[in-house]
Amino acid sequence: MVSFSKAKTAGKDTRSADQPPAREETLVANLKHDELFYLGRFNGVPCIACAIDEEEQLPADWKTIGLWELYSSMDGVEYNIATYASQIISWQQTSRYCPVCGSPMVSVEGGWGKRCTRGDYSGYPPVIPAIIVLIHDGERLLLSHKPGWGKRYGLIAGFVEPGETLEECVHREVKEEAGIEVDDLQYMKSQPWPFPNQLMVGFTARYKSGEIHPQDGELDDVRWFTRETLPETPPMSVWPICSSPAGLNNNKNSTRGISASSQERRH
Ligand SMILES: [Zn+2]
């Protein structure tokens, strides 16, 4: 199970337990916590999420781990469950009151949505799209550097703006950050990026024209690298866009995999 205390994940590894818990809440019964949210089952083990009081003393066999740390140490599916849980908890904590009139919000039947108890407003857990693009010229790879990154270089990336397609976003970000034009844009893969709630959409693109230079002041270097001159890169296990899709077995009647009727909500 996973629980959250601010940015930390707290968990107990139930896989090695002799018997799975008969009731999920026994795991947090002695801890101060918010509402429990049932996420579904993974390999037959129920997964629940809840926020634990920040001051709470955890049992000896529990530990807190940040999502960043989990990213490089957990299997893809399990990591995805943790990120799912963190985003559901974050949504619950930020959607208590209507952003239009300030009235309390209540859950909508059949998903994670909430509606205002006074007006018509309803909302859902936010997912913010962002693009990341690997630009090449057939031989070389274009990487960028931000102040404070040390020896590390990264791909061009950025947030999608209102009214913009993903493709338009790639062209704009590349022009803004590197000053060049690209073509032969190809979608590769997407990945939830829970810092705090992005969906990272990965593309490749071929260099077309223009002189490379950082444009918007965000980057202090953009340059080509060959296979032989690549800068320091993180281990493969922590590369974005390489984990497998979420593998929770849960209620298929809901697009989010969970229906309100299957959620066990206890205080
Ligand atoms: Zn309202």
3-state helix, strand, coil in the chain (%, to 5): 20, 30, 50
For residue 109, CA distances in Å to 105, 106, 179 come to 13, 10, 48
Q: Are 121 and 50 contained in the same domain?
A: no
Whether 105 and 213 have beta carbons less than 8 Å apart is answered as no
Residue 116 sits in the same domain as residue 193: no
Are residues 229 and 148 part of one domain? yes
Are both 120 and 216 inside the same structural domain? no
Please tell me whether residues 144 and 228 are part of one structural domain.
Answer: yes
Judging by beta carbons within 10 Å of its beta carbon (0-12, 13-18, 19+), is residue 185 exposed, middle or buried? Answer: middle
Do 171 and 197 fall into the same domain?
yes
Q: Tokens 């009647």 appear where?
A: 253
> Is the same domain home to 133 and 219?
yes
Q: Compute the chain's Rg from CA coordinates.
A: 21
CA of 127 to the centre of ligand 1 (A): 21
Give domain status of residue 22, yes or no: yes
Number of domains comprising the chain: 3
pLDDT in tens, the chain (267 residues): 455 544 455 555 444 444 444 454 556 667 777 788 888 888 888 888 888 887 888 888 788 888 888 887 877 888 889 999 999 999 999 999 999 999 999 999 888 999 999 999 999 999 999 999 999 999 999 999 988 888 889 999 999 999 999 999 999 999 999 999 999 999 999 988 888 899 999 999 999 999 998 876 788 899 999 989 998 766 655 555 443 334 445 433 332 322 222 222 222
Rounded distance from Cα 100 to ligand 1 centre (Å): 5
Whether this prediction's pTM lies above 0.85 is answered by: no
How far does the centroid of ligand 1 lie from the alpha carbon of residue 116, in Å? Answer: 5
Q: Is residue 134 part of a domain?
A: yes
Determine, yes or no, domain membership for 241: no
Residues 166 and 253 in one domain: no
What pLDDT does 239 receive?
52
Can you name the residues that pair with 248 across neighbouring β-strands? none
Q: Are strands 128-136 and 114-116 parallel, antiparallel or unpaired?
A: unpaired
CATH of the domain at 139: 3.90.79.10
Q: Is residue 267 part of a domain?
A: no
Query: What's the pLDDT score for residue 96?
Result: 96
DSSP 94-105: H-SB-TTT-PBE
In a domain, 173, yes or no: yes
- The verdict on 107 and 144 lying in the same domain is no
How many angstroms does the Cα of residue 118 sit away from the middle of ligand 1? Answer: 5
Question: What per-residue confidence (pLDDT) applies to 235?
Answer: 60
Residue 174 falls inside a structural domain: yes
| 71 found inside a domain | yes
Instruction: Kindly give the distance from the C-alpha atom of residue 94 to the centroid of ligand 1, in angstroms, as a whole number.
Output: 14
Report how far ligand 1's centroid is from the alpha carbon of 107 (Å). Answer: 13
User: Could you tell me the distance, in angstroms and rounded to a whole number, from the CA of residue 95 to the centre of ligand 1?
Assistant: 11
Query: 199 and 176, same structural domain?
Result: yes
Q: Do residue 132 and residue 227 come from a single domain?
A: yes
Pair 120, 182 in one domain: no
Angle among Cα 57, 61, 65 to the nearest 5 degrees reads: 70
88 alpha carbon – ligand 1 mean position (Å): 21
In a domain, 106, yes or no: yes
Q: What is the DSSP annotation of 122-180?
A: EE----EEEEEEEEE-SS-EEEEE-TT-TT--B-EEEEPPTT--HHHHHHHHHHHHH--
Structural domain boundaries enclosing 119:
95-125
Residue 261 is predicted with a pLDDT of 25
pLDDT value, residue 265: 29
Q: Looking at residue 11, what is its pLDDT?
A: 55
Ligand 1 geometric centre to CA of 17 (Å): 45
Give the pLDDT of residue 48: 86
